[in-house]
């Protein structure tokens, strides 16, 4: 299948956010190989907007795919392994792009009454491309009346789609905390302010926010995934850096968690006689599926004989597609790809049979929506 090969080509060239130059060039080469009569193609930074003008347009239906990779060294040993050391499509954006191209190609050759807008968005994994793309002049001129997107799901079987109305993905925020104390000889700790000790205490205290400040009937996560401190075993560390992520199911909980982090960090400053700085980095708005459109889509999927509909629960994953759904009615759904390794894993290996099934299902759904007034 052509789009399986496209997926493999793209898998070889993963690039980080706003550095997707090879990826953009590959996509543009493909797009320019298609019949151009109804196509309008515009670039935005390393992203692309593609409009297919309808035969008798009443509305614009939007479809968004992300295009960036992750800073992960690949360990799949696939014949089309990443050619970029330390970078990998470990979140399935190679799948997302090939599916989008498959759907787009169908409608270039088989236009419907309504116009379609395909958005190839950079920097989903960071620092966030959806919001600035949404605010671009191109998007304002071509703003769709509804928009959809998918994300691969390793835990679901091929031939399944998982979705729910309302909240699907959490609010997320990056978290970076820098501590600066006073270093010195390991034999004279009383002459120093040890940032390994301060950082260790702070990590423990941060977990108390979840257990003691968040409503037990609500949900939130604080994960510190990386700590950097010190230079050698017999020198007390002068600096420490904590890097992590925050996930909440409401905007209000996110604000509360950040306020508590600020208070605890101030306490560390006072208790360990050090200086601290907090940076919340990129924040992603929750993915909230519009109820009416999602219910309609679920009903449509239930009528398909080759696709199983799964009613899923909300997840603590983050996705900057939430910014688009904040402004445009639409939804995101999970596509089953049946991998024994999960998202962001160096051995993620989705089943490529899901590509054709996704293209067929999305094409049928857009044809269905395009037939409605």
150 and 185 in one domain? no
- CATH assignment of the domain containing 163: 3.40.630.10
Q: Are 119 and 64 in contact (CB under 8 A)?
A: yes
Q: Return d(Cα 364, Cα 360) in angstroms, integer.
A: 6
229 and 334 in one domain? no
Q: Return d(Cα 95, Cα 351) in angstroms, integer.
A: 10
pLDDT digits (tens, 9 = 90+) for 78-124: 999 999 999 999 999 999 999 999 999 999 999 999 999 999 999 99
CA distances from 160 to 82, 271, 275, 338, 359 (A): 27, 53, 51, 10, 13
26 and 114 in one domain? yes
Domains in the chain, number? 2
Q: Are 372 and 297 in contact (CB under 8 A)?
A: no
List of residues 6+ apart from 195 with CB closer than 8 A: 179, 180, 181, 229, 237, 238, 239, 240, 272, 274
Q: What is the pLDDT of residue 248?
A: 97
pLDDT digits (tens, 9 = 90+) for 14-26: 999 999 999 999 9
Q: Are 246 and 173 in contact (CB under 8 A)?
A: yes
Q: How confident is residue 373, by pLDDT bands cut at 50, 70 and 90?
A: low
When pLDDT is averaged across residues 296-314 and rounded to a whole number, the result is 97
10 and 139 in one domain? yes
Q: What is the pLDDT of residue 323?
A: 97
List of residues 6+ apart from 221 with CB closer than 8 A: 170, 210, 245, 246, 247, 248, 316
List of residues 6+ apart from 200 with CB closer than 8 A: none
Range(s) of the domain holding residue 214: 171-283
Q: What is the pLDDT of residue 1?
A: 80
**Last residue within a domain, chosen from 265, 283, 301:** 283
Angle value at C-alpha 66, between 60 and 71, nearest 5 degrees: 170
35 and 145 in one domain? yes
341 and 235 in one domain? no
Judged against a pLDDT cut of 90, whether residue 371 lies above it is answered with: no
Angle between helices 195-212 and 251-272 (to 10 degrees): 150
65 and 183 in one domain? no
177 and 150 in one domain? no
DSSP 3-state helix, strand, coil percentages of the chain (rounded to 5)?
Answer: 35, 25, 40
Q: How confident is residue 67, by pLDDT bands cut at 50, 70 and 90?
A: very high
Judged against a pLDDT cut of 80, whether residue 300 lies above it is answered with: yes
> Furthest-apart CA pair in the chain: how many Å?
80
Average pLDDT, the chain: 97
Nearest to 351 by CA among 341, 360, 359: 341
Q: Return d(Cα 203, Cα 123) in angstroms, integer.
A: 29
Q: Return d(Cα 57, Cα 53) in angstroms, integer.
A: 7
Q: How confident is residue 41, by pLDDT bands cut at 50, 70 and 90?
A: very high
Judged against a pLDDT cut of 80, whether residue 372 lies above it is answered with: no
Q: Return d(Cα 330, Cα 344) in angstroms, integer.
A: 26
When pLDDT is averaged across residues 186-213 and rounded to a whole number, the result is 97
72 and 6 in one domain? yes
153 and 17 in one domain? yes
| pTM (2 d.p.) | 0.93
Place of tokens 């399944």: 160
Query: Of all helices (H) and strands (E), which one includes residue 173?
Result: strand 171-180
**Last residue within a domain, chosen from 223, 254, 283:** 283
**Last residue within a domain, chosen from 259, 283, 307:** 283
291 and 269 in one domain? no
Residues paired with residue 50 on neighbouring β-strands, in sequence order: 41, 118
- Given the DSSP bridges, would you call strands 308-311 and 171-180 parallel, antiparallel or unpaired? unpaired
Annotated active-site positions, please? 66, 125
pLDDT digits (tens, 9 = 90+) for 25-37: 999 999 999 999 9
Judged against a pLDDT cut of 70, whether residue 165 lies above it is answered with: yes
CA distances from 372 to 60, 114, 142, 365 (A): 12, 9, 20, 11
Q: What is the pLDDT of residue 270?
A: 97
Give the end-to-end CA distance of the chain in Å, rounded to a whole number: 34
- CATH assignment of the domain containing 222: 3.30.70.360
């Amino acid at each position: 299948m052509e789009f399986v090969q496209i997926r493999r080509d793209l898998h070889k060239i993963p690039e980080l956010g706003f550095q997707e130059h090879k990826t953009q060039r590959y996509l543009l080469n493909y797009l320019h190989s298609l019949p151009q009569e109804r196509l309008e193609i515009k670039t935005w930074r390393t992203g692309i907007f593609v409009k297919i003008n309808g035969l008798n347009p009443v509305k614009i239906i939007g479809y968004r795919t992300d295009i960036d990779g992750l800073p992960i060294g690949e360990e799949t040993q696939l014949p089309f392994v990443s050619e970029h050391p330390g970078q990998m499509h470990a979140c399935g954006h190679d799948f997302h792009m090939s599916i989008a191209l498959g759907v787009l190609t169908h409608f270039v050759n088989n236009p419907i009454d309504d116009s379609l807008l395909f958005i190839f968005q950079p920097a989903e994994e960071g620092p966030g491309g959806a919001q600035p793309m949404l605010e671009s002049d191109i998007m304002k001129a071509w703003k769709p009346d509804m928009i959809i997107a998918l994300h691969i799901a390793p835990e679901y079987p091929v031939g399944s789609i998982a979705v729910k109305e309302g909240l699907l993905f959490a609010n997320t925020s990056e978290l970076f905390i820098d501590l600066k104390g006073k270093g010195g000889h390991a034999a004279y700790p009383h002459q120093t302010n040890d940032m390994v000790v301060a950082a260790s205490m702070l990590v423990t205290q941060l977990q108390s926010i979840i257990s003691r400040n968040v409503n037990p009937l609500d949900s939130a996560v604080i994960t510190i995934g990386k700590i950097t401190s010190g230079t050698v075993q017999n020198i007390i560390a002068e600096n420490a850096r904590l890097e992590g992520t925050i996930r909440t199911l409401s905007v209000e909980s996110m604000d509360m968690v950040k306020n508590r982090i600020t208070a605890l960090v101030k306490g560390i400053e006072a208790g360990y006689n050090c200086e601290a700085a907090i940076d919340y980095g990129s924040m992603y708005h929750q993915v909230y599926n519009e109820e009416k459109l999602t219910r309609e889509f679920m009903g449509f999927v239930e009528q398909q004989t080759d696709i199983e509909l799964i009613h899923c629960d909300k997840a603590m994953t983050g996705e900057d597609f939430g910014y688009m759904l904040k402004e445009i009615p639409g939804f995101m759904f999970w596509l089953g790809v049946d991998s024994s390794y999960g998202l962001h894993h160096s051995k993620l290996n989705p089943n490529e049979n899901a590509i054709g099934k996704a293209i067929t299902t999305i094409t049928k759904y857009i044809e269905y929506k395009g037939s409605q007034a």
